[in-house]
Structure 1
Amino acid sequence: MLKNRLLFKYFCAILLIYPCFAFAQNDDLFSMEIDELLQITVISSNGIEESLIDAPASMVILSESDFIKRGYNNLAEILVDLPGLDTIQTNGTSYITSYQRGYRTPFMTRTLFMINGIVDNHLWSQDALISRQYPISMIKQVEVLYGPSSVRYGPNAFLGVINVITKKGLDLAENHTELLMKADIGSWDSNGLELFSRGNFENVSFDISGRIFTSNEEDLSERWGFLSNNLYNNQKVWGPLLQHQNDGEFYGKYNDKTDDWGLFANFKYQDLKLSFINWQIDEGYGTQYAADRGQNNGDWQRLSKQVLLEHDWQYRYNLNIKSNLLYRKSRVWGNWAEATPDWNQGMSEYSYISISNWNSSNNAIEIKQDFDYTYSEYFRYLLGWRLKRSDLTKAYDVPGYWGGYSSTISSDALGPYGFGAGVFHSTDLNYDFDSKPIPNVPNDNRVQFNDAGIYFSVIYDSFPWRTNLGIRYDYNQIWGSSTNPRVSSIFKFNDNQSAIKLVYGEAFQEPPALQLYGGWSGRLANPDLAPEKAKNIEVILMHNSAHWLHDMSLYRAFYDNVIREDAINNGKRVITGFEYKGRFEYSHFLQGQDNITGYIYYTYTNAKTDRIYDHNKQDWVNQTKKLGDISPHKINMLIDMPFYDNWHLNIKGNYLHSATLYSRNPLNIQNIKVASCMIFDASLSYKISSWNFTFKALNIFDRKVFSPGVGKADSGNDFSKRSLGFINSLTVEPGRSVWLSVRYQFDLK
């Protein structure tokens, strides 16, 4: 990590030295009008440029001006404000977990996350690891698409797509370059630095961005009994592990540090483009795990490296051929201090203890080609194929951990108690095991397979009608094949300011290697897992009036072969929902000021499952009931008010109605619900010349909020004895935080 950080600092220094020319101010940050919103160009719905009104999907678009006015410092903050997403911040194995359209999952795996159309979900877990590693300053717009999209994107575009579109050097005038610097400081000793540069010259353009972020994170140990320092420091529970430390801090107290960074670059020469994605997350375990089972002072590290070579060829005026060659690497590694309660009679206060280091290294290479052929003014054909070769870890390489696979410890080394070389007891005087896996998981713990896909779509466009017909076939050597159609019809009226859309789509979610092969020491492995299936029918109504853009979606989704957290295809789900997305713009009550803008979003979600967990039988049973952890009503609202030419006041509120808990959660049988809550945020920004200063407060009134636990959420809430399971049944959300951001941008001529 140190080498990478030094390289990043060297890169930052180059960008700081290089701007030594005259600069010109960019005054177009806040210029979007309400009557232009339906004509915004989007890419994510069909993989081609089309207007929002023509996109065959429900979408939310956020522009660069939205990021600046709202004071966003990272992508995770954006998700909290979106309709149709229930977002939980655990600061744990994932910084956030977000359930799109009411589909609860152990991780954020059913939403496809992309940078410029390049999938960035983790290869092994398929988790969308959205934390603080992505530079906000590189983003042109974020496109959030709701509903199945497998026809265009293949596997795992199951609930929807989040596509981050970055600013390109080619968008500048020729022989121009631009430099943007952004620095953030905030509560809990949090610091962020971003640099972004782009340029456009004859036949050559580029964009480069980088970000580092560090934080001590908020100490939440007093907010929930199973996060108490009395448990982290309990001698009976932890024994000799309390003599050990991580990153210079002894175990035995709440400690949740963050050290993230990311580098992103695109270089374009004529029709050829070379792109790089390289980021690393190094975070603790936050509030996810009970303090009598896991110390949150650990390193949970994730890495993504991607290299893309792309050729974009325009043949005459009506045929575009795009060819991609992509190499991906995803890795997850770190350390973990664990205390498993001693199950022997009279020993429940004591533990079998371990400190483990683990690794999972994964890579893939993918070739794909897309054809876009405009046959006439009425017909447009889209065709594409892809071939992917994956080389993934099976179980974690985790030396000495409960008989887990190890590249460095013999399987015959069972340790003092026969459970693994690294498993000791809290009554022991010393803990002296220390072994790490090698960086690359050996071949005997890997699986290699191919998968391929082909799709075809046709667009018929004759005003006022626009119709999309598409189908895709995918084949995977592990789990077999899947065929998915998508059909939509759009009728535009009212001088192209209104539209009604009818959309039917299907999608599939491939089982991740993490569950196929068991992850931790091969437990809960199921190599026979089949893909999940989704079918979604939706009606969308869009209407643009003088002051409002109204966007309403009514959908019903059917899910089959649901993969539970214990790696079993078992169950069906039916989710009915309604989403209203309204954006407004009114003249300011002060003469000479820019217009007042904002939004109001409302989400209704009714998520049902036919399988629930019976705590008396300790098993799943057939019964139709609410899925749980999903708020039935959600309201997001925002108002942005400019004043005195250079000032913007932005106030937003997010309301979540009380929610029933997931049936696996022990609190469910106590009829405990997550309480309703309303959280307000505010930001005040000042713009002068090329400078922009933003002061922001999140959770202004310091509300003490709980969200549902993630995964099994099985700890319970009886703090007088050991927890019932590893994962906290409720998640403690952060309190108030304050942030100051400074942004500086100039153009070089």
Structure 2
Amino acid sequence: MRNIPLLLMLLLFCTVVDAQTILVKGKVTDTQKKAIAGVTVVIKGTSIFTQTRNDGAYQIYSTYGDTLVFTSTLGMTESIVVSNKYLDSPKNYLLIDVELAIDNQIFNLSLEELMSIKITTASNISEKLNDAPATIIVLTQKQILDLGYIKLSDILDDLPGMDIVKTYGDTYYKNYWRGFRNTVGTAYLLMVDGMLQNQLWTNTDQIMAAIPISNIERVEVVYGPASSVYGANAIMGVINVLTKKTSDADGTHFNFQSFRSINNYFTGDYNVFYQRNNIRFSVTGRVEDGDVNEFINPNDFYWTRDEHYSNSALWGDVVNNKNLGGLFSSPERNRALDFRLYIDDLELGVNFYNLSTGYGTVYPADRVQPVNRWPQTEFSIYSRYSKQLTSKINSRTLFRFRKSDITNDGLFIEAYNTTNNSLGDSTIAHVLVGSGESVRGIDFSSWSTYNRSVAAFQDFDVSLNDMISFNFGLKYESKNLERNYNAVYSDYVAPSVLINASLLYPPITQNVDRYNNRVFIIDEAAYFQGRLRLNRSNALNIGARYDYNSQYGGSSTLRMGYVGSFKSLTAKLLYGQAYQEPTMRNLYGGWSGSGSNENLKPELSNTIEASAIYTKGKISALASAYRVMITNTIVGDNQSASNLGERIISGLDLHLRTQISQSFIKNLSAWIYYSAILSEKEKKFDTDGNLTGSGIIGDLAHSKLYFGTTADIGKHLTINFRGRFIGERETVITNPIRTIPSYLTIDGNIQVRDVIYKGLNIEVKFINLTNTVYYHPGIREADSGESPGTWDSNGLGWSGSHGWYNSKLPQPRFFTMVGITLNL
């Protein structure tokens, strides 16, 4: 493994084979016989390709026996073998015309045809959706826009098998995918075009809330373990956001979306795409400005009420400065920029995502003021090169530099009691406190971590024949990470003597490397994924990967699967291993009452899944049963953390989709997903790390139902309604509120297209149409409770919320946004 950097360099050399050529011409049209521009036409096994012009025409020099592969932006493909049957004798060239579907005709395809869409995420190679060894949901850009999501992370609300907890704070959301509940990090990977976006220090995917929507081609959601393909932290799956790389026609294209609420919550999302022959350039940006208090009613939960944020007895002069506190306010100032340049097979890119939020509903109002900033940024520069080495081997090379930071311009305002443990009176928080008594004090602090990595990836795709194909690759990554938070604190002051809160700001930490607070980690990996097609109906998949990490050693993972296709029925039997890295927070970032341990090892999982998919005409149904066993789970106590835990989760997912066409309804699609957790169990430990038995994991709804319909009415109107029923959730043992009630919510979206002129659309988004009052369980210990607080007898100490994390989190009331989309 230590020679991987050298191997990567040796594998970058490419060759091209020349051959005798003949001119091939033709035209590519859609299912309605309209010309399609921007279709890629490539000679299979070579790097020779072209694209169709505005009139759908193309020409390319090829040889008899070559295979021409035509690919639309949707991923629909058609392969044609070059032969003399296409010869136009008088003109001495070949004439090959092709019909393909494009994105806005997706609903004209039968669901059987949709199963032929090519996806890439399941095995890190292009394959048909139905052939992939995993359960997969694909969302196209049209579907994302029709559903009316305000931000990309909102798609998680309607994906089966996910227990979403939204705080809108420093932990913006938690996604307990297939029952994996933890405190720090996520059990799945978030990618953009196959490049990892999980935060380097915390392994969270919250940056998804800042990723632009306007340049997305589709999102592939892969269920099940993927560590044998991608390495660590893919126990439950992968979400891969794939962006637009070609346009339907040469020239400059503009896509703009802008929405605003009645109280000026604003989102703006744009993409400018330029294409001329084999050169393409894309610029994408996103701006989001608003406040969570526009859609969260703080009076829905006791410890988010304004009466606590504005209580000067609790907060002193903080309540008189609206920039510091005084009411429930959690601003969002999210930004994104994305630059791409494509020259033939070379791709160069720069990405910047900034998620800058308040603290939402995470903390009780007597402990934290939510109005202040928690800024998270992701920045990367990369180059990617793809080349067909021979007719059977394709090479992909990626170099990437990334920064993953929590920056030093944030502020955290907290209040807590300190007890005088001395034998006599003592001055604490600038007031005199008697022996054994407590005083409430306030401090300001700033927390930051700066992390970076340099990585190289080399992948090969090999197709020996129609029966045998495989891919393999190598990875090398060097990480320079913060060991622990850079944290600076202000003075600690009692509310009664805090008369000028603006003087309490802490000093700004410097963005410099402190060697004694840095960790240097090398990640190396090699993987193999293969498919053996036994016959037209049956295929076996096998994959293996070995990862070496200089922090915790080596990890091996295996994946095996059977895929059988029998006319309208597809059956899959899958087994996969995966592992979850301990985060830097788990290893080094502990504090009093929340331990860490630098000797932690990865958590390990084994998953078995069986699924059946029936697709016939306009109906598609799926049933999938799974069982996940996780060992070495990380258990934290007051002083440390250890790999003592074990979890077992069993579940069932049912999907049903249909498509209908009527005279007045151009396209009507409807879907219903049902997810059930059949059983959940984990080992339980006390606060000192002693095993006390076993019990439920907690915060998981055993029944979840998702449903919706989208109708294209005539040429100018699209209406969507979607809903979700989330069953009752029994909470974690540390939560004094033992259950979170079930709820039903309905959202909607209405689009009126081509208003005044073609490409200008008006859109209205509706969130929680019935104004339902509902809750998510709190994160981490969720231990605040909801009983009122009291002052101690000395009038200095405060006994209020029971813990640092709210027990239940109020969710959005009725909320609407109006805006325009422009496509030129």
The two structures have a TM-score, normalised by structure 1, of 0.88
Go from structure 1 to structure 2 and tell me whether the alpha carbon gap of 1:272 and 1:232 turns closer, same or farther (over 3 Å shift): same
1:101-136 alpha-carbon deviations (Å, 9 max, x no partner)? 111122451110000000001000000014542221
The amino acid of 2:770's aligned partner reads: F
Superposed displacement of residue 611, structure 1 = 2.3
Q: Give SS of 2:391's match.
A: coil
**Higher mean C-alpha displacement, 159-168 vs 91-100:** 91-100
- How far, CA to CA, are the matches of 2:145 and 2:741 in structure 1? 32
Counterpart among 666, 683, 698 of residue 628 in structure 1 = 698
- How far, CA to CA, are the matches of 1:427 and 1:546 in structure 2? 72
Go from structure 1 to structure 2 and tell me whether the alpha carbon gap of 1:632 and 1:620 turns closer, same or farther (over 3 Å shift): farther
1:336 and 2:391 matched: no
1:59-100 alpha-carbon deviations (Å, 9 max, x no partner)? 111111211221122112211011011111111113221111
- How far, CA to CA, are the matches of 1:346 and 1:57 in structure 2? 63
Residue aligning to 2:290: 215
- How far, CA to CA, are the matches of 1:128 and 1:500 in structure 2? 32
Residue aligning to 1:684: 750
- How far, CA to CA, are the matches of 1:592 and 1:735 in structure 2? 34
1:385-439 alpha-carbon deviations (Å, 9 max, x no partner)? 1011000111111123xxxxxxxxxxxxxxxxxxxx6333334345644311012
1:477-499 alpha-carbon deviations (Å, 9 max, x no partner)? 111111000001101001xx321
1:199 and 2:274 matched: yes
Contact 2:324 / 2:369 at 8 angstroms: preserved in 1? no
Residue aligning to 1:446: 518
- How far, CA to CA, are the matches of 1:659 and 1:576 in structure 2? 16
Match runs of 1:590-609 below 5 Å: 591-609=663-681
Superposed displacement of residue 207, structure 1 = 2.1
Contact 1:92 / 1:285 at 8 angstroms: preserved in 2? yes
Go from structure 1 to structure 2 and tell me whether the alpha carbon gap of 1:31 and 1:72 turns closer, same or farther (over 3 Å shift): farther
Residue aligning to 1:229: 306
Residue aligning to 1:642: 712
Residue aligning to 2:357: 283
1:7-60 alpha-carbon deviations (Å, 9 max, x no partner)? xxxxxxxxxxxxxxx999996475444232211211110111111100100111
Contact 1:172 / 1:200 at 8 angstroms: preserved in 2? no
Go from structure 1 to structure 2 and tell me whether the alpha carbon gap of 1:499 and 1:26 turns closer, same or farther (over 3 Å shift): closer
Superposed displacement of residue 517, structure 1 = 0.6
- How far, CA to CA, are the matches of 1:32 and 1:438 in structure 2? 56
- How far, CA to CA, are the matches of 2:394 and 2:177 in structure 1? 33
Go from structure 1 to structure 2 and tell me whether the alpha carbon gap of 1:331 and 1:521 turns closer, same or farther (over 3 Å shift): farther
The amino acid of 1:35's aligned partner reads: E
Go from structure 1 to structure 2 and tell me whether the alpha carbon gap of 1:713 and 1:522 turns closer, same or farther (over 3 Å shift): closer
- What RMSD, in angstroms, separates the aligned Cα atoms of the two structures? 2.3
Contact 2:543 / 2:560 at 8 angstroms: preserved in 1? yes
- How far, CA to CA, are the matches of 1:650 and 1:188 in structure 2? 24
Go from structure 1 to structure 2 and tell me whether the alpha carbon gap of 1:644 and 1:339 turns closer, same or farther (over 3 Å shift): same
Residue aligning to 1:7: none
Superposed displacement of residue 527, structure 1 = 0.3
- How far, CA to CA, are the matches of 1:347 and 1:211 in structure 2? 54
Q: Percentage identity across aligned positions?
A: 27
1:713 and 2:782 matched: yes
Go from structure 1 to structure 2 and tell me whether the alpha carbon gap of 1:73 and 1:28 turns closer, same or farther (over 3 Å shift): farther
- How far, CA to CA, are the matches of 2:313 and 2:417 in structure 1? 10
Residue aligning to 1:14: none
Structure 2: where are the runs of 5+ without partners?
1-53, 57-101, 421-433, 791-799
Contact 1:571 / 1:611 at 8 angstroms: preserved in 2? yes
- How far, CA to CA, are the matches of 1:329 and 1:528 in structure 2? 25
Residue aligning to 2:40: none
Residue aligning to 1:172: 248
1:200-222 alpha-carbon deviations (Å, 9 max, x no partner)? 22331222211101002225321
- How far, CA to CA, are the matches of 2:160 and 2:184 in structure 1? 19
Q: Give SS of 2:156's match.
A: helix
- How far, CA to CA, are the matches of 1:526 and 1:613 in structure 2? 17
Residue aligning to 1:739: 817
Counterpart among 538, 560, 567 of residue 487 in structure 1 = 560
1:424-460 alpha-carbon deviations (Å, 9 max, x no partner)? 3334345644311012342221111111111112111
Residue aligning to 1:456: 528
Match runs of 1:536-555 below 5 Å: 536-555=607-626
1:144-194 alpha-carbon deviations (Å, 9 max, x no partner)? 11111011101111211000011113x534x33321111111254211111
Q: Give SS of 1:515's match.
A: helix
Residue aligning to 1:411: none
Match runs of 1:234-253 below 5 Å: 234-242=311-319, 245=321, 249-253=323-327
1:723 and 2:812 matched: no
The amino acid of 1:738's aligned partner reads: T
Residue aligning to 2:197: 120
The amino acid of 2:655's aligned partner reads: K
- How far, CA to CA, are the matches of 1:343 and 1:584 in structure 2? 64
Contact 1:359 / 1:396 at 8 angstroms: preserved in 2? yes
Superposed displacement of residue 361, structure 1 = 0.4
1:93 and 2:170 matched: yes
The amino acid of 1:486's aligned partner reads: R
Residue aligning to 2:112: 35
Match runs of 1:107-506 below 5 Å: 107=184, 109-130=186-207, 132-169=209-246, 171-173=247-249, 175-186=250-261, 188-218=263-293, 219-242=296-319, 245=321, 249-333=323-407, 334-344=410-420, 350-400=439-489, 422-429=491-498, 432-433=503-504, 434-461=506-533, 462-494=535-567, 497-506=568-577
- How far, CA to CA, are the matches of 1:180 and 1:386 in structure 2? 36
The amino acid of 1:283's aligned partner reads: T
Q: Give SS of 1:277's match.
A: strand
The amino acid of 1:191's aligned partner reads: F
The amino acid of 1:374's aligned partner reads: S
Go from structure 1 to structure 2 and tell me whether the alpha carbon gap of 1:158 and 1:146 turns closer, same or farther (over 3 Å shift): same
Q: Give SS of 1:727's match.
A: coil
Residue aligning to 1:695: 764
Contact 2:318 / 2:324 at 8 angstroms: preserved in 1? no
Structure 1: where are the runs of 5+ without partners?
1-21, 401-420
The two structures have a TM-score, normalised by structure 2, of 0.80
Contact 1:326 / 1:367 at 8 angstroms: preserved in 2? yes
Go from structure 1 to structure 2 and tell me whether the alpha carbon gap of 1:26 and 1:370 turns closer, same or farther (over 3 Å shift): closer
Residue aligning to 1:74: 151
Contact 1:124 / 1:514 at 8 angstroms: preserved in 2? yes
Contact 2:110 / 2:618 at 8 angstroms: preserved in 1? no
Superposed displacement of residue 348, structure 1 = 7.9
Superposed displacement of residue 546, structure 1 = 2.6
- How far, CA to CA, are the matches of 2:374 and 2:436 in structure 1? 30
Contact 1:394 / 1:519 at 8 angstroms: preserved in 2? no
- How far, CA to CA, are the matches of 1:222 and 1:743 in structure 2? 35
Superposed displacement of residue 299, structure 1 = 0.4
Residue aligning to 2:39: none
Contact 1:94 / 1:107 at 8 angstroms: preserved in 2? no
Q: Give SS of 1:121's match.
A: coil
Contact 2:318 / 2:325 at 8 angstroms: preserved in 1? yes
The amino acid of 1:684's aligned partner reads: I
Contact 1:206 / 1:266 at 8 angstroms: preserved in 2? yes
Go from structure 1 to structure 2 and tell me whether the alpha carbon gap of 1:309 and 1:216 turns closer, same or farther (over 3 Å shift): same
Q: Which protein has greater RCO, CA pairs closer than 8 Å, 6+ apart?
A: 1
The amino acid of 2:806's aligned partner reads: N
Go from structure 1 to structure 2 and tell me whether the alpha carbon gap of 1:629 and 1:522 turns closer, same or farther (over 3 Å shift): closer
Contact 2:672 / 2:705 at 8 angstroms: preserved in 1? yes
Q: Give SS of 2:411's match.
A: strand
- How far, CA to CA, are the matches of 2:159 and 2:690 in structure 1? 33
